[in-house]
């Protein structure tokens, strides 16, 4: 989903059918194993079928003089029986509760509340036969217009065994952490529990900018719920997988490995409608997203001659029928053009005055120009637009924070292609290089860091940092000689990185078969005063060498080192429990100490929290090693195969091939 900045996922329809979408690491990698580390065996899915009733909903808008009636939107949901169901459609938040009377009848309670400064609420209780509609009329619209909601229970159904049971009406399901403008709610031991803090600044920053631009002065906080799966108690937006309730300042998104619909723009939409009332989604989503670089997709569509005529997406029905990414991007870009080139005051007046009956005529009345003429001017404006680098960078940061790393990289690469000076390119490479690395694009990342190093100021800390990354990436692409030369050079130009360089030189010794030299080097490092991470890595590597290398095996000494490593790893993990590297190292230490239960819990949690390809490979290899030690060879082989598929690092590939051929075992000596 890309509702600025959400990426559209074509999996949304499948997601809504597959209710059990809690983020399990083994769903992510395709291995069906219970995730004991997360202790969610019965936290996400019921093991019995849940009864529901399929309900169709139609919203129509009637003009004040009753001469016009148009369809605004329609949906169909499987509403769980005896459970509060919530959604938003038309100009109102809607709650339904259905109770089965007999095989052909249902009792349906519907409550709706419109948004805006003068809310209108309606409650109806219907006893209905299947297939027969019931209506709620005279729902207040603008300028005397009114909405009609038609509800039709079609048939009873079952949601299947693996449905997502969470419901934010049940406060016991969620915990929350407060920020300045939000209460961020999450289900304990799901991805939102560990990562809510990653999104905090993005949500706050976006809303503060929007609040200032719109001159909003609204008290209270918004409640942002991070669901781990698609609960059937929510009527999800079928394009992007979110739900909002502006009447209660509630935002609901899915946040899992398989699907993310978190976006700061949802907060803008919620507060825009709560403060100013409803308008067609072209204006709601366009104004809410105009500060978030909507031109990115719009410019691409312009180049490909794929722009949708504006008049085709002004109404709700037309907007929802069009390509979702393009309709949202065009709405935002068009609203931004109106703000920059004409008048934000007029844009706001257009929003306040418009509904699906009059949105085009109100535009021409307020702006005093035919919309076709303004659209042509907008396209000409786009043809000459050269967005600043900050637009690409800021949007990329937002996409990265909401786990859309491929899109984050695409934005930066587009920016890089547009650079016309070396200074501009270097600023782009500074942003691009870490994204390449995160996604396991090692060769590209290595080239980027080499460019940055070659052009960095002599003696600067940045130059040392670039060389360090270049050297490390050289290991991953199999350029071991260059890696060794680079780490030696790193010691020369930056004494502060001497210990890190020596650690990596010892690792290279192990990779290239000099186990005896590596064991000595790791031991020498441990005699120095080094930081906890370098100490921990040295302990783990030395202990591993003493455990698996036949010629140098000393399991008693290895156990001692692993035990010490476990203490350091515990300290680091407690200081940053959402850091997957700390959890991975704790898992490796526990495995070496033969505490296999703790090792499994830590390694599974590390993989659950990890999104960087470069570390996923190492975590999968570690889980395979653990399975081998436990005598679970089939499971180990699956982990090794997954590592080969997920991470193309030479180090990961060599390790996986090695352990596919021969199982990982400690040498008994």
In the predicted model, is pLDDT for residue 2 greater than 70? no
Model confidence band, residue 39 (pLDDT cutoffs 50, 70, 90): very low
DSSP H or E segment with residue 522: helix 515-527
Residue 151 has which token pair?
A: 């509800």
In the predicted model, is pLDDT for residue 14 greater than 70? no
Q: In the block, which residue shows the tokens 């003493």? A: 546
For the residues 589-614, what does the mean pLDDT come to? 94
Cα 298 from Cα 308, distance rounded (Å): 10
- Which of 245, 301, 296 is CA-nearest to residue 273? 245
pLDDT of residue 41: 28
For the residues 563-581, what does the mean pLDDT come to? 94
SS3 assignment for 599-656? HHHHHHHHHHHCCCHHHHHHHHHHHHHHHHHCCCHHHHHHHHHHHHHHCCCHHHHHHH
CB 566 within 8 A of CB 593: yes
pLDDT of residue 22: 33
Angle at the Cα of 608 from the Cα atoms of 602 and 612, rounded to 5 degrees:
110
- Which of 523, 546, 525 is CA-nearest to residue 534? 525
For residue 668, what is the DSSP state?
Answer: -
Interaxial angle between packed helices 371-383 and 324-337, expressed in degrees from 0 to 180 and rounded to the nearest 10: 90
Name, in order, each residue with C-beta under 8 angstroms of 333's C-beta and a sequence gap of 6 or more. Answer: 290, 294, 295, 298, 378, 382
In the predicted model, is pLDDT for residue 569 greater than 90? yes
Cα 181 from Cα 216, distance rounded (Å): 13
Cα 225 from Cα 185, distance rounded (Å): 5
Cα 14 from Cα 229, distance rounded (Å): 12
String of DSSP letters for 390-408: HHHHHHHHHHHHTT-HHHH
Cα 250 from Cα 117, distance rounded (Å): 17
The C-alpha R_g of the chain, in whole angstroms, comes to 29
In the predicted model, is pLDDT for residue 8 greater than 60? no
- Which of 515, 486, 511, 514 is CA-nearest to residue 501? 486
In the predicted model, is pLDDT for residue 630 greater than 60? yes
Cα 370 from Cα 289, distance rounded (Å): 24
For the residues 132-157, what does the mean pLDDT come to? 96
- Which of 60, 61, 89, 91 is CA-nearest to residue 76? 89
Q: Which residues pair with 59 in a beta bridge?
A: 73, 149
DSSP H or E segment with residue 47: none
In the predicted model, is pLDDT for residue 139 greater than 50? yes
Model confidence band, residue 403 (pLDDT cutoffs 50, 70, 90): confident
Cα 481 from Cα 255, distance rounded (Å): 42
- pLDDT tens string 451-469: 999 999 998 999 999 999 9
pLDDT of residue 587: 97
- pLDDT tens string 465-476: 999 999 999 999
Model confidence band, residue 50 (pLDDT cutoffs 50, 70, 90): low
In the predicted model, is pLDDT for residue 28 greater than 60? no
Name, in order, each residue with C-beta under 8 angstroms of 645's C-beta and a sequence gap of 6 or more. Answer: none
Angle at the Cα of 482 from the Cα atoms of 481 and 485, rounded to 5 degrees:
90
Angle at the Cα of 355 from the Cα atoms of 369 and 2, rounded to 5 degrees:
90
pLDDT of residue 453: 97
For the residues 473-502, what does the mean pLDDT come to? 97
- pLDDT tens string 56-87: 999 999 999 999 999 999 999 999 999 999 99
How many Å from the N-terminal Cα to the C-terminal Cα in the chain?
55
Cα 486 from Cα 491, distance rounded (Å): 9
In the predicted model, is pLDDT for residue 412 greater than 80? yes
The two beta strands, 250-254 and 222-227, are: parallel
For the residues 104-118, what does the mean pLDDT come to? 93
- pLDDT tens string 217-251: 888 999 999 999 999 999 999 999 999 999 999 99
Q: In the block, which residue shows the tokens 């339904």? A: 96
- Length of the chain (residues): 669
Max CA distance (Å), the chain = 93
Q: Which of 30-39, 58-67, 387-396 has the lowest mean pLDDT?
A: 30-39
The distance from CA 453 to its chain's CA centroid, rounded to whole angstroms, is: 32
- Report the chain's mean pLDDT, rounded to a whole number: 90
For residue 431, what is the DSSP state?
Answer: H
Name, in order, each residue with C-beta under 8 angstroms of 228's C-beta and a sequence gap of 6 or more. Answer: 21, 22, 23, 44, 164, 166, 187, 190, 191, 192, 254, 255, 256
Cα 655 from Cα 653, distance rounded (Å): 6
For the residues 480-488, what does the mean pLDDT come to? 97
In the predicted model, is pLDDT for residue 523 greater than 70? yes
For residue 338, what is the DSSP state?
Answer: I
CB 55 within 8 A of CB 668: no
Name, in order, each residue with C-beta under 8 angstroms of 621's C-beta and a sequence gap of 6 or more. Answer: 639, 640, 643, 652, 655, 656, 659
- pLDDT tens string 524-549: 999 999 999 999 999 999 999 999 98
17 compared with 322, residue with greater pLDDT: 322
Helix (H, G, I), strand (E, B) or coil at 73: strand
Structure pTM?
0.87
Model confidence band, residue 481 (pLDDT cutoffs 50, 70, 90): very high
CB hemisphere CA count around 264 (13 angstroms): 28
pLDDT of residue 500: 97
pLDDT of residue 419: 93
For 278-312, letters b (16+ CB in 10 Å) and e give bbbbbbbbbbbbbbbbbbbbbbebbeeeebbebee
Residue 93 has which token pair?
A: 């938040």
Cα 517 from Cα 145, distance rounded (Å): 83
pLDDT of residue 47: 40
Give alpha helix (H) positions in 256-358.
265-276, 281-288, 295-303, 316-321, 324-337, 344-353
In the predicted model, is pLDDT for residue 11 greater than 80? no
CB 78 within 8 A of CB 232: yes
Residue 514 has which token pair?
A: 């000099």
Cα 227 from Cα 254, distance rounded (Å): 5
């Amino acid at each position: 989903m890309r509702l600025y900045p959400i990426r559209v996922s074509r999996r949304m329809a499948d997601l809504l059918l597959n209710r059990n979408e809690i983020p399990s690491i083994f769903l992510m990698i395709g291995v069906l194993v219970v995730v004991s580390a997360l202790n969610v065996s019965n936290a996400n899915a019921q093991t019995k079928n849940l009864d529901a009733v399929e309900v169709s909903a139609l919203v129509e808008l009637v003009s004040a003089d009753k001469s016009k009636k148009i369809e605004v939107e329609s949906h169909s949901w499987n509403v769980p029986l005896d459970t509060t169901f919530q959604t938003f459609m038309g100009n109102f938040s809607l709650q339904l509760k259905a109770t089965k009377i007999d095989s052909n009848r249902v009792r349906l309670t519907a409550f709706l509340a419109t948004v805006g400064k003068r809310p209108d609420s309606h409650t109806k209780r219907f006893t209905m036969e299947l297939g027969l509609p019931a209506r709620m009329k005279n729902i207040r619209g603008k300028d005397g217009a009114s909405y009609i909601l038609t509800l039709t229970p079609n048939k009873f159904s079952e949601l299947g065994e693996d449905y997502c049971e969470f419901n934010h009406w049940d406060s016991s399901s969620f915990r929350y952490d407060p920020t300045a403008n939000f209460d961020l709610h999450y289900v304990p031991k799901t991805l939102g529990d560990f990562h809510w803090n990653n999104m905090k600044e993005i949500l706050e920053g976006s809303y503060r900018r929007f609040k200032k631009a719109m001159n909003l002065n609204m008290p209270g906080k918004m409640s942002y719920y991070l669901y781990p799966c698609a609960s059937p108690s929510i009527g999800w937006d079928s394009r992007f997988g979110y739900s909002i309730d502006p009447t209660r300042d509630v935002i609901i998104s899915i946040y899992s490995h398989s699907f993310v619909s978190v976006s700061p723009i949802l907060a803008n939409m919620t507060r825009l409608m709560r403060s100013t009332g409803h308008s067609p989604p072209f204006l709601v989503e366009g104004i809410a997203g105009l500060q978030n670089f909507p031109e990115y997709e719009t410019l691409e569509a312009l180049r490909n001659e794929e722009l949708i005529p504006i008049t085709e997406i002004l109404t709700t029905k037309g907007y929802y029928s069009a390509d979702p990414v393009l309709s949202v991007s065009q709405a935002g870009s068009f609203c931004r053009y109106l703000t920059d080139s004409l008048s934000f005051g007029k844009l706001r007046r257009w929003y306040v005055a418009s509904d699906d009956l009059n949105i085009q005529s109100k535009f021409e009345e307020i702006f005093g120009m035919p919309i076709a003429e303004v659209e042509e001017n907008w396209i000409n404006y786009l043809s000459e637009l050269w967005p600043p680098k900050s637009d690409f960078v800021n949007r990329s940061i937002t996409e990265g924070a909401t786990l859309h790393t491929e899109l984050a990289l695409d934005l930066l690469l587009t920016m890089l292609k547009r650079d016309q000076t070396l200074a501009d390119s270097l600023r782009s490479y500074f942003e691009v290089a870490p994204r390449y690395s995160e996604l396991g694009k090692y060769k590209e990342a290595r080239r980027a860091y080499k460019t940055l190093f070659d052009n960095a100021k002599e003696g600067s800390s940045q130059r040392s940092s670039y060389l360090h990354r270049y050297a490390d990436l050289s290991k991953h692409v199999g350029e071991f000689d260059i890696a060794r030369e680079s780490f030696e050079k790193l010691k020369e130009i930056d004494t502060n990185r001497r210990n890190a360089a020596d650690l990596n030189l010892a690792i290279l010794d192990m990779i290239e078969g000099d186990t005896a030299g590596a064991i000595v080097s790791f031991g020498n490092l441990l005699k120095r005063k080094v930081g906890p991470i370098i100490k921990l890595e040295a302990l783990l590597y030395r202990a591993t060498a003493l455990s698996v290398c036949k010629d140098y095996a000393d399991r008693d000494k290895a156990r001692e080192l692993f035990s010490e490593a476990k203490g350091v790893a515990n300290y680091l993990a407690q200081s940053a429990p959402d850091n997957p590297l700390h959890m991975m190292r704790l898992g490796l230490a526990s495995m070496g100490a033969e505490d296999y239960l703790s090792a499994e819990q830590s390694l599974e949690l590390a993989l659950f929290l990890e999104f960087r390809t470069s570390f996923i490979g190492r975590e999968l290899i570690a889980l395979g090693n653990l399975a081998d030690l436990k005598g679970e060879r089939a499971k180990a082989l699956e982990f090794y195969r997954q590592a080969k598929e997920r991470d193309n690092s030479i180090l990961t590939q060599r390790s996986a091939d090695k352990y596919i051929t021969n199982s990982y075992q400690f040498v008994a000596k």
